[in-house]
Structure 1
Amino acid sequence: MPVPETVDLGGFSTAAGGSQRLTGHLARPETAGPRPGVVVVHEALGVDDVMLRQTERLARAGYLALMPDLFTQGGARRCLVPTMRAALSGQGRAYQDIAAARTFLAEHADCTGAVGIIGFCMGGSFALMAAGKGSFGAASANYGILPKDLDAALAGACPIVASYGGRDRMLKGAAERLDAALERLGVVHDVKEYPQAGHSFLNDAATGPRPLRPLMRVAGMGPDPEAAADAWRRIETFFDNHLKDTES
């Protein structure tokens, strides 16, 4: 199993105008490369075992997967609010840190130069905004809050695969609005809502403070293995078509 290794991204992020300190978690495919890369953007809870396993899963699918820790400089308590604001505004240090992770992958000897991005929860919002910035070959946004001005944020975006849960009370109608916007803009896309699933349904275990987990389940948050299996199938097929098929 590809176990992520911790890498120092500080030089790349500083050069990009981002954090002076930035660490990342890199998972390599077990088979010989070079392979396409994928930047993994974590949930609002930060880097944890669940997010590391998501990174490992992408490596098993044949991608050089790198998850930058957006809370490296300051910790989650100090970084969460400004990072969430950045996710929704399209501006902020976190975008330079994500760009640093992309550069690290693109320049890595084991990477083909094709790089995608995937995000979960808060990371899903980053993936959507980054898709419209022109630097990624494909994006996967999973239950991320939509930009206020979808047309402005996603005009000219790279291909996007997105997944939402019908029981996600925070994101009612998000899948339908995103699908309509991408269709209107002519962006290649695959957007699906899973009626039985809630927020964070791609996780393979419950996350968050243990005392709050029962309330989170009542709110429809947490794993849904059936929906997750289908969503991962769609993500991997989409990335294969738009990243692996463009290998030079």
Structure 2
Amino acid sequence: MPKVTFPAPAGPLPGYLATPATEGPWPAVIVVQDVRGMTADVRRVSDRLAAAGYLTLAPALYGRGLKIACMLATIRSHFAGTGDSFDDIVAARDHLLADPNCSGKVGLVGFCMGAGFVLQLAPSGLFDATAPNYGLNPKNIDALAQSCPVVASYGAKDRIARSGTAAALEAVLAAGGVPRDIKEYENVGHSFMNDFGIPAPFTVIERIAGMEYSEPEAEDAWRRILSFFGEHLR
């Protein structure tokens, strides 16, 4: 596994680095995990982006200390809009920008909790394009009128990022004239892009919770993300 450790304000943090097979320099992408942490799915997402030509780093936000303590601190940071987790994501960006094989363009991808971090960082001026997937809109949603370009995907049956989340994001981005591609898929719920490889007996629970992977919608969302990043990061 391509492990890497990079410096951050709260101390060194591990991550998963995926490198394209083609000759650089490449644009870079940071992948922000969901609440489950550094899963095989996060690594697959990173590998997929690298295969598409992006130098990709997924910071292990639970990688500094006991996992449960890191998890709670990260969740608190997500809702507070500040804290070590935001610093860690920015530090991951800085680490990639320091790589001579980085073209100088950096995108940001996130899922669920990770998408919440992405949306809060989108107006920071630090990223060139973002892809938040079924994340909660930030409390200061009006700040997104000054966002970098956004491609976002939601499920109409999502019980976490509920109905109206995608429309509210579309409205504020449109008001600011932000380049965007916001889509809500009618027949899926939360986490429809994340294939966690859950054993068959548990897929029923996943389906009841409205968090089931759905390949057709997931692949369409990926098509849109890669097309959008091709336009804004290359």
1:62-112 Cα offsets, whole Å, 9 max, x none, are: 100000000111243112222122223321100110011001111112110
1:117-170 Cα offsets, whole Å, 9 max, x none, are: 100111100111111111000000001111122003x13211011001111111
State TM-score, norm by structure 1: 0.89
1:188 and 2:185 equivalent? no
Q: How does 1:168-247 map to 2 (within 5 A)?
A: 168-172=158-162, 173-206=164-197, 213-244=203-234
Aligned position for 1:92: 83
Tell me the distance in 2 between the aligned counterparts of 1:147 and 1:75. 28
Tell me the distance in 2 between the aligned counterparts of 1:77 and 1:196. 34
Aligned mate of 1:161, from 123, 131, 151: 151
Tell me the distance in 1 between the aligned counterparts of 2:116 and 2:95. 22
1:8 and 2:5 equivalent? yes
Q: Is the 8 A contact 2:145 2:174 kept in 1?
A: no
Q: Percent identity?
A: 45
Tell me the distance in 2 between the aligned counterparts of 1:142 and 1:215. 22
CA 61–84 in structure 1, closer or farther in 2 if over 3 Å, else same: same
How far has the Cα of 1:210 moved from its partner?
8.6
RMSD: 1.6
CA 110–100 in structure 1, closer or farther in 2 if over 3 Å, else same: same
Tell me the distance in 1 between the aligned counterparts of 2:41 and 2:228. 22
Tell me the distance in 2 between the aligned counterparts of 1:83 and 1:163. 23
Tell me the distance in 2 between the aligned counterparts of 1:21 and 1:110. 22
Aligned mate of 1:135, from 126, 151, 158: 126
Q: Could you tell me which amino acid in structure 1 is paired with residue 2 of structure 2? A: E
Aligned mate of 2:57, from 62, 66, 70: 66
Q: Is the 8 A contact 1:89 1:147 kept in 2?
A: no
Further displaced range: 196-205 or 57-66: 196-205
Q: Is the 8 A contact 2:145 2:175 kept in 1?
A: no
Tell me the distance in 1 between the aligned counterparts of 2:128 and 2:142. 19
Aligned position for 1:121: 112
Aligned mate of 2:39, from 44, 48, 61: 48
CA 211–46 in structure 1, closer or farther in 2 if over 3 Å, else same: farther
- Aligned to 1:26, the other structure's residue is in SS state strand
Aligned mate of 1:22, from 13, 27, 40: 13
How many matched pairs?
Answer: 233
Q: Is the 8 A contact 1:166 1:197 kept in 2?
A: yes
- Aligned to 1:104, the other structure's residue is in SS state helix
Q: Is the 8 A contact 1:55 1:67 kept in 2?
A: yes
Tell me the distance in 1 between the aligned counterparts of 2:73 and 2:85. 9
Tell me the distance in 2 between the aligned counterparts of 1:170 and 1:103. 31
